Each structure stands twice: as structure tokens, then as C-alpha cells.
């Protein structure tokens, strides 16, 4: 497997940039909740620009999998769960392993992460525990998605996309100054329609379709040089068909015989309000967020013509958060302190064959955290890093079958210690030890006295480096993560399981990412990640899993590429990405095969007009996800053309 992965990692991929020339720009990021250049941040990370997403025709969160080292995303037709460095969990449990944020709005659960990447400035993929700054669930890393800001320049464009499976898409964006330098605005949106690829022989049609409408408004107020106010609102409505899943033993996975026509209606509204005030060497920031998500679905759970498991489900969720933070940037160090609070209200209903399984199950989670992250400049080249966070959370469950409300509370302390050594402006190295945690929760189907499970924690030991020059940049890290109280589904009998903190695990490996510019028109880029994630201790009624691989944790991930732009507007490209196989059960019996995907794009881009031909998954490689008795199908090859007019 290692040999095959290394062979694949020397393959070439080509992608493209619609710019006058290719160049290595200094990237400003907000990974540590302050503006910094990437080389100054002592965290292993991958940065995906808006150009990267546009060039590769990526507009959904699940499609960024493998685009940076040691990042994979479990996608099960409604459950979207990112994993970093092989730190993964059973998807029956409700919390993510990775903190997921869109303009400060947090996504903490495995359901409802149908994120559309429209008009994005960049995506920051932070690897290793980020609980100090981001709190619960950022214990394996964090994905920070940042929208494009409006500017003084008046710009607008419209686009049309046509492609496989009757794909039709319209998109638009417009922005500029309403009052120059004081009041800026940006509006964008899209409408997308696409037929399915799984054929229902019982209904004599494909029914895994998608119809989505999306809009986002970004308002920026700058009444003074010191005061900024950013208001971002987005809304989408997505109507979907049946989940792309089938019984794993089916003769042809892409043919089903469901006697129920699958339907889903997903709605999401989110609001982010950020106020920042700078004075001398200080900055105060207030971040207020709100999210309202609604999810209604009907589908055939047995994937047969028989009426055995007809499912109707509803999931309604409202999330509120408020954060205040204060930064002092002095000659002798940079110091950040803050407080954050959140409330989440979730209401669920599940009906199977007209029998109420969950009837308006209500969960209310609230918590608060205090955090501090400090850089002490010991010498001009050496920095001491000290950080810590304290969190307290409470979850309360209400259900008509329970005589009383059930609740659970827990505390978490997350420290960090590190050293950063910056030899010059071109090279930085760091070493760190940090702790992260993943929130506890409940599994309603378990016995009442076994319903709750506690938080999961890890301690991460890491060394890394970053270097950047005129023609190339390179970064890498080596890590070891010690995981305790791992949340697992543990079998008390061969037929009965419940959630418990019954395992210990470890993940160890490395990651490398780099870019090399041969000329103004030609750029090479590559990434390679290795993460071996195994159980140290875990046994139940079905067996002893010591030394077995953790579920849904591929050992290898890789990309490599070359970008070319002619200088006259013409460009062409393709890129490669992939991962090794992964297991879907603790005993490592069921597995999903490793895969390698190649995409391509060719086109012309001028001041006003853009024409692009693209093909995603050119060789129509199947990379399905095995889930034991069920398999979730991967999307087939998509070939399309896109037209854009800018004015």
C-alpha cells in the first residue's frame, strides 16, 4: 500500500488560474483569530483559495476531500463528517471530530453540513487540536471557511453551467461601494438542478435528484478607520431525492428497487455579525452568530420492493453563539483573551412504517468557555507559545417516553505549550504539545442508564516547519496523538450495542505540502499525508480490537499538480487526488477501496468573458463508501461547460 501510494504521488496533475500570470502571493489568514501571514502561524494547515475551488468546479464541502494532506470526508447522503489525521469516529454518534465554521458560524453535528462553497475567499484547514481557540469538537482540527469581502471596486458577473445528468446551473455575483470606503456590499447566489445517477427499477426512473437555490449578502460598514462592522447572511433551500445508497450485496449498486420515492427538503439560514474596533496596539472583537436549519426526509430504508423500513424523519435546529475577544499586539508579544457562549436547540422526529420511534425529541445544549492564547517574544527569532481554555457544557434531553428530563454536564480544560523559531523571513520551525476535546452526547436508542456518553480527549505532540521563497514554498509536520475515552459503539451482546467511552487510540504520521513556480506561467504543487490511526485498547462482546484501524481513517492521502496559464487568456489543466482504503467496522472486516481521481479543465478567460470545459472524475472511478450492510455510492463522472460574463 505504501509503495502504491508513493507511486501515485509522483503522478502529475494540471489545474488553472485565470490571471495575467501565476505567482506566489503572501496569504493572510485568521486561523488564530488574528490577521497573520501563513508562514508565521505555528500550525500545520492547508489553504484552498477561491480560485482553487472555481478551477476545480468545487461547490460543496464534501468535494474538498483529499485536496490537502490528511483530510478525508465521510459522506453518507446526509451525513457529512470531515476527518483530519485519521482521527475519526463511528458516524452513529452525533458530534464532529473537526470544528467546522463558516464566517464564524459553527457546525457541530454530523447532520446539516450541506455547505455550499459559493463566493469563497479561502478555506483554512487547520490540523491538530484547535480547542484552545475554537472549543469543543475542534479536537482533531478545524475547517475555517471565509467569504469574499466586498471592495470599493464595482464588479459583477453572471454564469451558466450545463453538464452531465441534465445539470443546469445559473450563478451571479455583484459588489462594490455604496458609499466609498464607508459602506460596501456584495451579493451572490446560484440555482442548480441535476438528475440522479441511481436507477430505481421499481419506479422506473432515477430519483436521487437535486434542486438547490442559494443566496448570500455581505455588508461591510467602516464608519471610522478604527471601527469595522461585517454582516453576512446566507440562505439556501435544497430539494433532494432518495439517498444514493444500496444494500452492499446488491448485484449492481447503482440499481435499486425501492417502493418508496425518496424526497427531502433542506433549508438553512445563517447570520454572522462581527464588530471590531482597533486602537493603538489593541483590538476588540465581538462575534454574534445564528443558524436555523430544517431537514425533512422520506426514504426507503430497506432498499427493496417490500414495505419493511419506510422512514420519515425531521430535524430542526437553532444555534446561537456570542464571542468577545481582546488582542494586544506589543513589541514583546501578542496576547489574546476571550469568552464565548453558545446555545443549541434541536428537535427530532423519526417515524418508521407509521410507528413513532422518536416523537419530538428535544435537546438543549448550552455552554461557555474562557480562553487565552499568548505569544511571548523571548528573542527576535524565538517565541514562547502559551494557551489555555476552560469550557463547561450542559445537555438536556426531553422525550415523552421519559418520566423526567435527562441532563448531563461536563467540564474541559485544554492547554497548549509551544516554541516557534523563525530564523528569517523565509523559514520557521515550531514544536508544540496541545490538548483537545470532543463533546459528549446521548444515544436515545440505548438503555436509559446507558444513554449518555462523556467527552473524548487527546493530547497531540507535534513538530513542524514552513519555508517560503520567491519560487517555492514547503511545509511539513510530524505528529503523535494520544486519544483517551474514545467514543465508540460497544456491543454488550452480539445484537445490542450502545455508545460509551470504552476505548483508547493513537494516531501518528506526517504531512507535506509544497508549491514550485518554474515560470510566471507554470506552477507545480503537491501534498502527501500519512496517518496511522489504531485502537490501543478496545474490546466488547464481539471481540478484541487492539491494533485494529479506526473506522473511516485512510492511512494515505495525496495530491500533486502543475498549473499552466498561457498569458493570452487560454489555459488547460487537470489534477489528481486520492486516498488509501479505509475500514468501516472495528474488526476491519468491511472496507472501502482506495481510489485515485483525475479531473480536467480547459478554457479561455478574458476581461469580460470566460468559457470553460471541465470533466470531474474523468475515468468514472467508483469510490463508494462501505457501511457494512449498506453502501453509499460516489458521484460518477461529470462533464460540463460553463460560460461567464463579467461587467
Residue closest to 183 by CA, chosen among 148, 222, 156, 150: 222
Query: What confidence score (pLDDT) does residue 26 get?
Result: 65
In this structure, are strands 183-194 and 452-453 parallel, antiparallel, or unpaired?
unpaired
Q: Lay out the sheet containing 245-247: strands in order across.
A: 245-247, 630-632, 625-627
Cell of 217: 449578502
pTM of the model: 0.92
Q: Quote the DSSP letter at residue 282.
A: E
Query: What confidence score (pLDDT) does residue 329 get?
Result: 94
Q: Quote the DSSP letter at residue 148.
A: P
Rounded distance between C-alpha atoms, residue 43 and residue 611, angstroms: 38
Rounded distance between C-alpha atoms, residue 29 and residue 65, angstroms: 21
Query: What confidence score (pLDDT) does residue 358 get?
Result: 63
SS3 626: strand
Summarize pLDDT for 477-487 with one digit per residue, the tens.
Answer: 999 999 999 99
Query: What confidence score (pLDDT) does residue 343 get?
Result: 94
Query: Mean pLDDT in the chain?
Result: 89
Cell of 386: 502559551
Residue closest to 503 by CA, chosen among 548, 539, 543, 457: 539
Q: Does the structure show a pLDDT above 90 at 212?
A: yes
Query: What confidence score (pLDDT) does residue 68 get?
Result: 92
Q: Does the structure show a pLDDT above 80 at 598?
A: yes
Rounded distance between C-alpha atoms, residue 429 and residue 620, angstroms: 41
Are 465 and 419 spatial neighbours (Cβ–Cβ below 8 Å)? no
Q: How confident is the model at residue 1 (pLDDT cuts 50, 70, 90)?
A: very low
Are 302 and 343 spatial neighbours (Cβ–Cβ below 8 Å)? no
% of the chain beyond a pLDDT of 90? 62
Most confident of 295-309, 414-428, 557-571: 414-428
Summarize pLDDT for 91-145 with one digit per residue, the tens.
Answer: 777 788 899 999 999 987 777 888 899 899 999 999 999 999 998 889 899 999 9
Summarize pLDDT for 241-259 with one digit per residue, the tens.
Answer: 999 999 999 999 999 999 9
For the residues 18-27, what does the mean pLDDT come to? 51
Q: For residue 377, count CB atoms less than 10 angstroms from its CB and return exposed for 0-12, middle for 13-18, buried for 19 or more.
A: middle
Query: What confidence score (pLDDT) does residue 465 get?
Result: 96
Q: How confident is the model at residue 496 (pLDDT cuts 50, 70, 90)?
A: confident
DSSP string, 231-277: EEEEEEEEEE-S-SEEETT-SSTTEE--SS--EEEEEEEEEEEEEEE
Are 148 and 158 spatial neighbours (Cβ–Cβ below 8 Å)? no
- Cα dihedral: 522, 17, 176, 101 (round 10): -110
Rounded distance between C-alpha atoms, residue 297 and residue 243, angstroms: 10
Q: How far is CA 235 from the centre of its chain?
A: 19
Q: How far is CA 484 from the centre of its chain?
A: 23
Q: How confident is the model at residue 513 (pLDDT cuts 50, 70, 90)?
A: very high
Q: Does the structure show a pLDDT above 90 at 337?
A: yes
Are 467 and 474 spatial neighbours (Cβ–Cβ below 8 Å)? yes
More confident: 641 or 362: 641
Query: What confidence score (pLDDT) does residue 21 get?
Result: 45
Q: Which residues contact 187 (CB under 8 A, 6 or more apart)?
A: 173, 174, 175, 215, 216, 217, 218
For the residues 3-30, what does the mean pLDDT come to? 45
Residue closest to 317 by CA, chosen among 296, 339, 341: 296
Q: Which residues contact 496 (CB under 8 A, 6 or more apart)?
A: none
Task: For residue 290, give the H/E element and its range.
Answer: strand 282-300
Amino acid at each position: 500500500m505504501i509503495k502504491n501510494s508513493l507511486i501515485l504521488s509522483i503522478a502529475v496533475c494540471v489545474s488553472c488560474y485565470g490571471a495575467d500570470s501565476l505567482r506566489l502571493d503572501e496569504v493572510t489568514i485568521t486561523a488564530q483569530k488574528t490577521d497573520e501571514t501563513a508562514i508565521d502561524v505555528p500550525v500545520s494547515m492547508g489553504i484552498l483559495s477561491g480560485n482553487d475551488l472555481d478551477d476545480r468546479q468545487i461547490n460543496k464541502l464534501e468535494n474538498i476531500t483529499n485536496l490537502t494532506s490528511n483530510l478525508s470526508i465521510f459522506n453518507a447522503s446526509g451525513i457529512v463528517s470531515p476527518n483530519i489525521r485519521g482521527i475519526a469516529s463511528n458516524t452513529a454518534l452525533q458530534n464532529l471530530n473537526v470544528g467546522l465554521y463558516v464566517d464564524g458560524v459553527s457546525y457541530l453535528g454530523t447532520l446539516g453540513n450541506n455547505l455550499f462553497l459559493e463566493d469563497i475567499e479561502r478555506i483554512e484547514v487547520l490540523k491538530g487540536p484547535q480547542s484552545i481557540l475554537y472549543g469543543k469538537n475542534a479536537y482533531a482540527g478545524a475547517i475555517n471557511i471565509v467569504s469574499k469581502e466586498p471592495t470599493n471596486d464595482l464588479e459583477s458577473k453572471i454564469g451558466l453551467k450545463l453538464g452531465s445528468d441534465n445539470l443546469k446551473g445559473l450563478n451571479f455575483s455583484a459588489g462594490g461601494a455604496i458609499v466609498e470606503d464607508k459602506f460596501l456590499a456584495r451579493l451572490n447566489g446560484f440555482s442548480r438542478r441535476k438528475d440522479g445517477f441511481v436507477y430505481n427499477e421499481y419506479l422506473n426512473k432515477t430519483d436521487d435528484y437535486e434542486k438547490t437555490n442559494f443566496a448570500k449578502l455581505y455588508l461591510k460598514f467602516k464608519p471610522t478607520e478604527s471601527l469595522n462592522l461585517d454582516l453576512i447572511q446566507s440562505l439556501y433551500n435544497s430539494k433532494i431525492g432518495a439517498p444514493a445508497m444500496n444494500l452492499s450485496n446488491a448485484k449492481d449498486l447503482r440499481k435499486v428497487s425501492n417502493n418508496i420515492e425518496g424526497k427531502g427538503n433542506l433549508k438553512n439560514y445563517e447570520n454572522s455579525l462581527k464588530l471590531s474596533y482597533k486602537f493603538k496596539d489593541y483590538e476588540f472583537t465581538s462575534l454574534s452568530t445564528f443558524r436555523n436549519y430544517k431537514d425533512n426526509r422520506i426514504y426507503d430504508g430497506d432498499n427493496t420492493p417490500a414495505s419493511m423500513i419506510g422512514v420519515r424523519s425531521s430535524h430542526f435546529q437553532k444555534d446561537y453563539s456570542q464571542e468577545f475577544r481582546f488582542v494586544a499586539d506589543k513589541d514583546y508579544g501578542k496576547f489574546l483573551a476571550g469568552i464565548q457562549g453558545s446555545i443549541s436547540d434541536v428537535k427530532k422526529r423519526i417515524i418508521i412504517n407509521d410507528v413513532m420511534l422518536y416523537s419530538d425529541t428535544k435537546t438543549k445544549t448550552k455552554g461557555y468557555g474562557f480562553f487565552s492564547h499568548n505569544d511571548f517574544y523571548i528573542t527576535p527569532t524565538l517565541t514562547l507559545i502559551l494557551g489555555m481554555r476552560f469550557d463547561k457544557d450542559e445537555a438536556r434531553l426531553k422525550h415523552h417516553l421519559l418520566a423526567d428530563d435527562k441532563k448531563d454536564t461536563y467540564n474541559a480544560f485544554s492547554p497548549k505549550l509551544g516554541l516557534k523559531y523563525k530564523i528569517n523571513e523565509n523559514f520557521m520551525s515550531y514544536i508544540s504539545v496541545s490538548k483537545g476535546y470532543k463533546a459528549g452526547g446521548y444515544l436515545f436508542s440505548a438503555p436509559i442508564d446507558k444513554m449518555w456518553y462523556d467527552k473524548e480527549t487527546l493530547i497531540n505532540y507535534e513538530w513542524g516547519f514552513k519555508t517560503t521563497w520567491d519560487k517555492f514554498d514547503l511545509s511539513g509536520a510530524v505528529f503523535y496523538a494520544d486519544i483517551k475515552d474514545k467514543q465508540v459503539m460497544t456491543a454488550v451482546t452480539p445484537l445490542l450495542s450502545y455508545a460509551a467511552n470504552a476505548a483508547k487510540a493513537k494516531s501518528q504520521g506526517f504531512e507535506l505540502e509544497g508549491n514550485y513556480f518554474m515560470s510566471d506561467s507554470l506552477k507545480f504543487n503537491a501534498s502527501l499525508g500519512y496517518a496511522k490511526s489504531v485502537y490501543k485498547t478496545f474490546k466488547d462482546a464481539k471481540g478484541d480490537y487492539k491494533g485494529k484501524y479506526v473506522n473511516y481513517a485512510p492511512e494515505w492521502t495525496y495530491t500533486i499538480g502543475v498549473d499552466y496559464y498561457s498569458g493570452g487568456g487560454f489555459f488547460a489543466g487537470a489534477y489528481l487526488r486520492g486516498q488509501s482504503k479505509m475500514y468501516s467496522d472495528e474488526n476491519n472486516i468491511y472496507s472501502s477501496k482506495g481510489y485515485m481521481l483525475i479531473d480536467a479543465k480547459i478554457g479561455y478567460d478574458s476581461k469580460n468573458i470566460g468559457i470553460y470545459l471541465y470533466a470531474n472524475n474523468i475515468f468514472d472511478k467508483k469510490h463508494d463508501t462501505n457501511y457494512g450492510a449498506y453502501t453509499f455510492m460516489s458521484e460518477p463522472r461529470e462533464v460540463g461547460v460553463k460560460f461567464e460574463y463579467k461587467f
